[in-house]
Amino acid sequence: MRKIYIFDTTLRDGEQSPGVNLNMQEKVEIALQLEKLGIDRIEAGFPAASPGDLAGVRAVAEAVRNSSVIGLARSREKDIDAVHEALKNAQDPAIHVFLATSPIHREHKLRMSKEQVLETAEAAIRYAKKYFSKIEFSPEDAGRTELDFLCEVTEMAIRAGATVVNIPDTVGYMTPSEFGNIFKTLREKVPGIEKIQLSAHCHDDLGMATANALAAILNGADQVEGTINGIGERAGNTSLEEVAMALETRQEFYQAKTTLRLSEIARTSRLVSKLTGMVVPGNKAIVGANAFAHESGIHQDGMLKEKTTYEIMSPETIGLKESKLVLGKHSGRHAFREKLIDLGYELNEEQLNSAFAKFKDLADKKKQVLDEDIRTLVEEKMIGTPEIFALESLRLVYGDNPQPGAVVRIKTAEGAWSRKRRTATGPWMRFIKRSTK
Ligand code: KIV
Ligand code: ZN
């Protein structure tokens, strides 16, 4: 099995998600969790971008001991100096230098010829060599770069001293077969390619980031770059948890594996979501709330008989406790009966039939039937729990003058129904009143 190195850029490309801004403590907290997950390489930020970014990269470099820590730099001496400054105390520092190579970027953004691009990138890699033994070079927008020129750039980067050449599909334009072909061609045509690692960096604009990264692996990539939960610029980056679980689940097919501690995936995903404020959609592969939840009666029946009928991975692998059978209008009797047993009810066949009919009525009106709904339905309607109280009326008074309060009228069944009336005001309401004086 070939090892695939995992390069996490949650703290750099991920932090470029619109609206995300992590402070230094948050960056360190995420980096330490990435280290626990077993990430090989952590791109901690872009030190030349701002003093705050430099401080964040420095703090991560000082905290992390077991993963390599990387800083991003444009092909400029001042950027490379900033990365050097930020990574002085790193246990295993590395630099990531980039320069765009596609015709669109050369013409409109850089206003450089091919020769100028080659010279500028080479000078930057050689300058970085003064400080770093591990240098990754990225030809930005490689996906839209002429393949011959990309081979030339890669050859130059190897000669200048890069140890990793990363191929970014910067704008998420590639299809898996096109992206795979880039790796195949580089492996076949570039002299010295065996001396370095090839890496894939994909964006998800057309929803193909994970598929493209996997196609790169099949065609000779040694490293995949991405983020937790797939966050990042625009539609985001490759989701690292998706790549890790695809390699785990389809090991025979890919003949490659990561050394991630997969049971840390769910925890890492939750932490990144909490600190970035980017909510993970319920249907997100691997880490969405519904990734291991089943609603249809047919699926629930299958799951109860044999989990592999409808699950290709187990939730325990990524650190979750168990799959969920969600009760809703598509659920069947089998799942309903199991839920009743779970909740501690033993109903005879007739009671079960009647409870199931009531449950279906309720499920038609409510999206999801919760445990409390089932308890109420069974206890009130089926077991015939005697009615002890009934709410007759409720009056609420809001405001600070008169004091807020409530009047509740409850009917109690003491032989015949009798009525009781009490009024009270809550202590927290008094507190609010005092504290606003
Ligand atoms: O998407 C991209 O091209 C990048 C580079 C900096 C590698 O993030
Ligand atoms: Zn990117």
pLDDT score for 44 = 98
pLDDT score for 333 = 92
CA-closest candidate to residue 141, choices 164, 158, 159, 117: 117
pLDDT per residue as tens digits for the range 131-144? 999 999 999 999 99
Whether 329 lines ligand 1, by a CB cut-off of 6 Å, is: no
pLDDT score for 103 = 98
Q: What's the mean pLDDT in 166-172?
A: 98
Rounded to 5 degrees, what angle do the CA atoms 96, 49, 136 make?
Answer: 0
Beta carbons within 8 Å of 337's beta carbon, 6+ residues apart = 352
Whether 201 lines ligand 1, by a CB cut-off of 6 Å, is: yes
Backbone angles phi, psi at 230, to 5 degrees: 70, 20
Tell me the pLDDT band of 433, cut-offs 50, 70 and 90. Answer: very low
Whether 98 lines ligand 1, by a CB cut-off of 6 Å, is: yes
72 CA closest ligand 1 atom index: 6
Whether 122 lines ligand 1, by a CB cut-off of 6 Å, is: no
Residue nearest to ligand 1 atom 1, measured at CA: 170
Return d(Cα 292, Cα 312) in angstroms, integer.
10
Alpha-carbon torsion (207, 211, 216, 217), positive or negative: positive
Q: What's the mean pLDDT in 214-232?
A: 98
Q: Which residue has the higher pLDDT, 377 or 107?
A: 107
pLDDT score for 378 = 87
Q: Can you list the alpha helix ranges (DSSP code H) found in 290-406?
A: 297-305, 333-342, 349-365, 371-376
Whether 140 lines ligand 1, by a CB cut-off of 6 Å, is: yes
Q: Are 203 and 215 in contact (CB under 8 A)?
A: no
Q: What mean pLDDT value characterizes the chain?
A: 93
Given a cut of 90, is residue 175 above it in pLDDT?
yes
Tell me the pLDDT band of 395, cut-offs 50, 70 and 90. Answer: confident
pLDDT per residue as tens digits for the range 341-363? 989 898 899 889 989 999 999 99
Return d(Cα 291, Cα 274) in angstroms, integer.
19
Whether 138 lines ligand 1, by a CB cut-off of 6 Å, is: yes
- The alpha carbon of 310 is separated from its chain's Cα centroid by a whole number of angstroms, namely 23
Per the omega criterion (within 30 degrees of 0), is the bond before 402 cis?
A: yes
Given a cut of 80, is residue 146 above it in pLDDT?
yes
Q: What's the mean pLDDT in 388-410?
A: 78
pLDDT score for 435 = 47
Q: Which residue has the higher pLDDT, 425 or 136?
A: 136
Query: Which residues have their alpha-adjacent CB atom under 5 A from ion ligand 2?
Result: 13
Given a cut of 70, is residue 374 above it in pLDDT?
yes
| Helical axes 77-86 vs 114-129, angle rounded to 10° | 30
pLDDT per residue as tens digits for the range 294-343? 989 999 999 999 999 999 999 999 999 888 899 999 999 999 999 999 89
Q: What is the DSSP letter of 228?
A: G
Given a cut of 90, is residue 91 above it in pLDDT?
yes
> Which tokens sit at 120?
């500028």
Q: Enter the pTM of the model.
A: 0.85
Return d(Cα 63, Cα 298) in angstroms, integer.
49
Mutate to test the pocket of ligand 1, among 10, 11, 13, 141 (most ligand atoms within 8 A of CB): 13
Instruction: Kindly report the number of other CB atoms within 10 A of residue 421's CB atom.
Output: 10
- The alpha carbon of 347 is separated from its chain's Cα centroid by a whole number of angstroms, namely 42
Whether 13 lines ligand 1, by a CB cut-off of 6 Å, is: yes
Tell me the pLDDT band of 50, cut-offs 50, 70 and 90. Answer: very high
Given a cut of 50, is residue 432 above it in pLDDT?
no
Cα dihedral value 16, 22, 28, 34, nearest 10: -50
- Nearest ligand to residue 142 Cα: 1
Q: Are 276 and 14 in contact (CB under 8 A)?
A: yes
pLDDT per residue as tens digits for the range 225-245? 999 999 999 999 999 999 999
Given a cut of 60, is residue 379 above it in pLDDT?
yes
Given a cut of 90, is residue 108 above it in pLDDT?
yes
Tell me the pLDDT band of 393, cut-offs 50, 70 and 90. Answer: confident
- Nearest ligand to residue 232 Cα: 2
- Nearest ligand to residue 237 Cα: 2
pLDDT per residue as tens digits for the range 30-47? 999 999 999 999 999 999
Given a cut of 70, is residue 145 above it in pLDDT?
yes
234 Rama sector, left if φ>0, alpha if ψ -120 to 50, beta otherwise:
left
Strand extents, DSSP E, 258-404: 293-294, 324-325, 389-397
Tell me the pLDDT band of 407, cut-offs 50, 70 and 90. Answer: confident
Residue nearest to ligand 1 atom 4, measured at CA: 170
Given a cut of 80, is residue 194 above it in pLDDT?
yes
Computed over its alpha carbons, how large is the radius of gyration of the chain? 29
Backbone angles phi, psi at 293, to 5 degrees: -115, 145
Instruction: Kindly report the number of other CB atoms within 10 A of residue 189's CB atom.
Output: 15
pLDDT score for 428 = 55
Whether 170 lines ligand 1, by a CB cut-off of 6 Å, is: yes
142 CA closest ligand 1 atom index: 3
Encoded amino acid at 342, one letter: D
Q: What is the DSSP letter of 310?
A: T
pLDDT score for 417 = 66
98 CA closest ligand 1 atom index: 6
140 CA closest ligand 1 atom index: 3
Return d(Cα 311, Cα 314) in angstroms, integer.
7
* 3 state DSSP class of 5: strand
Residue 76 burial by Cβ neighbours in a 10 Å radius (0-12, 13-18, 19+): middle
141 CA closest ligand 1 atom index: 3
